[in-house]
Amino acid sequence: MTRVEMVALGIGVISSALVGSMFLVGSSAPPAVVPTTDLAARPHLDFSGDLRKRCVESYFEQTLNHFEATHETYQQRYFVCEEFWRRADDKGTDGPIFFYVGNEADVELYLNHTGLMWENAHEFGALLVFAEHRYFGKSAPPDAATRLQHLSSEQALADYAVLLDHIKDTRAAAASPVVGFGGSYGGMLATWFRLKYPHVLDGAIAASAPVLSFLGEDPPANLTAFSQIVTYDATHAAGSAPNCAANVRRSWDVIVDAAATADGRAWLQAGLGLCDPFTSRDDAVGVRDWVKGAFDYLAMGNFPYPSSYIMNGASVLPAYPVRAACEPLAPSFASTKEGNFSLLRALGAGIGVYYNSTNDQVCYSRAAPSNASQVDADFWDYLFCSELYQPQDQGLGGDMFWPLAHNQTEDAARCLAKWNVTLRPHWAQTQYGGRKALREVSNLVFSNGNYDPWSGMGVLVDLAPTVVAVEVVGGAHHLDLMFSNPGDSKAVKKARAEEKKHIAKWIHDAAK
């Protein structure tokens, strides 16, 4: 992965993590873990088995371009799960609609992972809807790859508004309140859906949504926040070995120095445990990106219990995987050639938590585990280039990485060459307004875990009376959205309970 690709991926780093799932089409859904062993007594909390089978998969003929009056349509996929829905003729009023605001992956991922929706459905009598984002999963228009101009967050939001009209119309459910849920980019979309369509969405839970990540934010977005929090996860304060971050930081010079000569590159290959020799100095220097990638993903997936989420279901990461990766990096290594070699060996072992999670690699091939489909990553890059430019810096704010600032000119050139689009560095801020817009709206919960690298661009303080921040101490990327787990901390339980209170209030207020 080149630096340019890393930068270009931007929140795509998130997306990759999100795409990581064992629940993709064709695979069966494993049993969800619930916090009680007595499911017979609480059958509404039994979410074992294939959740997709409890929903109806449908396609809606959706307008391709909402902002120009063309006739074209495409088939948008969505799932509706009715089992918990309380209708007015049963008890008082119609139950609400819980609406997952689909992001940049197959919507089955969200259906299978958004425990917060499933686990609260019974109590609220909610209809569950999982809507797929245009151009992802099975919701691509014909010739999608050659007609990317209709891929945009604005079109996606309009899709959701129209789809909800359809769902309500066909069920005579005009009065049902609608609560949005989304994580990561889905959390950004949920936020913007509430901002732009307050008549459609009564409130939203936006988990790990980096809505303050754009240029033009006031005060400015901290572009090194991602790397800083990855670094934080590798410190004693976050439970990792005290020397870890310092050792990682020190390794970059060791790598660059060694890359200068053929002997050095062979030494580097051996130290890190790579299968193949480096082909050039640049190739060897580029191994830094590959190493950083492991820490980035492990930090996002720094959950308190073993989880396969980040690994796309192919393998299981240990609890607190950053701590695990830091274990080999605990010692002090001498500033000698031997010491440096030991450091490289430790680094190689550390990133093995990610790159050898299957425990069957005798050496590293430097191919990252496939936790995002190429087409999803590409389409995310199109969004990055066309409207959601989230530049990132590193090594400039005390983090453990080498200094590298984003280069807008370079990004613009790359986006033009790759997608034939003009980079619009300020559009997202103009369109969605960041903090300033959020101070003007209502009924939004922003949850963020301090182990999640994206939390540094999220809403961490209340911005308005009902636009509130919920902290998940010790939480990584949208942990609160997931199914309950015996390993859940008090913090995440508390966060979910707070979210539930807000949801109840939004539904109550909407009924007025």
Nearer to its own copies, 431 or 448 (CB): 431
Distance CA 334, CA 328 (A): 15
Least CB distance from residue 421 to its own copies, whole Å? 4
Nearest CA to 453 among 345, 310, 249? 310
**184 noted as active-site residue:** yes
Residues whose CB falls within 8 Å of the CB of residue 89, separated by 6 or more in sequence, listed in order: none
Least CB distance from residue 178 to its own copies, whole Å? 11
Nearer to its own copies, 207 or 428 (CB): 428
> Which of these segments, 238-246, 312-320, 363-371, 384-392, binds its own copies (CB under 8 A)?
384-392
Which of 6, 20, 29, 66 forms a contact with its own copies (CB under 8 A)?
Answer: 66
3-state secondary structure of 110: helix
Looking at residues 186 to 245 of the shown chain, list those that interact with its own copies (rule: CB under 8 A): 195-200, 218
- The total of other beta-carbon atoms located within 10 Å of residue 36's CB is 12
Asked if 421 touches its own copies (CB under 8 A), the answer is yes
Which of 430, 473, 486, 501 forms a contact with its own copies (CB under 8 A)?
Answer: 430
Nearest CA to 388 among 420, 358, 424? 424
Active-site residue among 16, 139, 153, 184? 184
Angle at 187 between CA 222 and CA 195, to 5 degrees: 95
Nearer to its own copies, 228 or 431 (CB): 431
Asked if 4 touches its own copies (CB under 8 A), the answer is no
3-state secondary structure of 415: helix
DSSP string, 75-88: EEEEEEE-TTPPPT
Asked if 145 touches its own copies (CB under 8 A), the answer is no
**502 noted as active-site residue:** no
3-state secondary structure of 130: strand
Active-site residue among 94, 376, 452, 480? 452
**Is the distance from CB of 222 to CB of 303 less than 8 angstroms?**
no
3-state secondary structure of 462: coil
**Is the distance from CB of 400 to CB of 240 less than 8 angstroms?**
no
Least CB distance from residue 138 to its own copies, whole Å? 23
Q: Which helix (H) or strand (E) holds 283?
A: helix 281-285
Asked if 119 touches its own copies (CB under 8 A), the answer is no
Asked if 413 touches its own copies (CB under 8 A), the answer is no
Which of 267, 290, 341, 427 forms a contact with its own copies (CB under 8 A)?
Answer: 427
Please, is 345 exposed, middle or buried when counting C-beta atoms within 10 Å of its C-beta (0-12, 13-18, 19+)?
A: middle
Cis geometry, peptide bond prior to residue 219 (ω within 30 degrees of 0):
yes
Nearer to its own copies, 194 or 265 (CB): 194
Least CB distance from residue 129 to its own copies, whole Å? 16
Looking at residues 431 to 470 of the shown chain, list those that interact with its own copies (rule: CB under 8 A): 431, 433-434, 436-437, 440-442
Least CB distance from residue 136 to its own copies, whole Å? 18
**406 noted as active-site residue:** no
Structure tokens belonging to residue 343: 């450091």
**Is the distance from CB of 132 to CB of 55 less than 8 angstroms?**
no
**Is the distance from CB of 138 to CB of 119 less than 8 angstroms?**
no
Asked if 161 touches its own copies (CB under 8 A), the answer is yes
Asked if 426 touches its own copies (CB under 8 A), the answer is yes
List the catalytic residues.
184, 452, 477
Tell me which residues touch its own copies (CB under 8 A).
63, 65-71, 149-150, 152, 154-155, 158, 161-162, 165, 174, 195-200, 218, 385-387, 419, 421-422, 424, 426-427, 430-431, 433-434, 436-437, 440-442
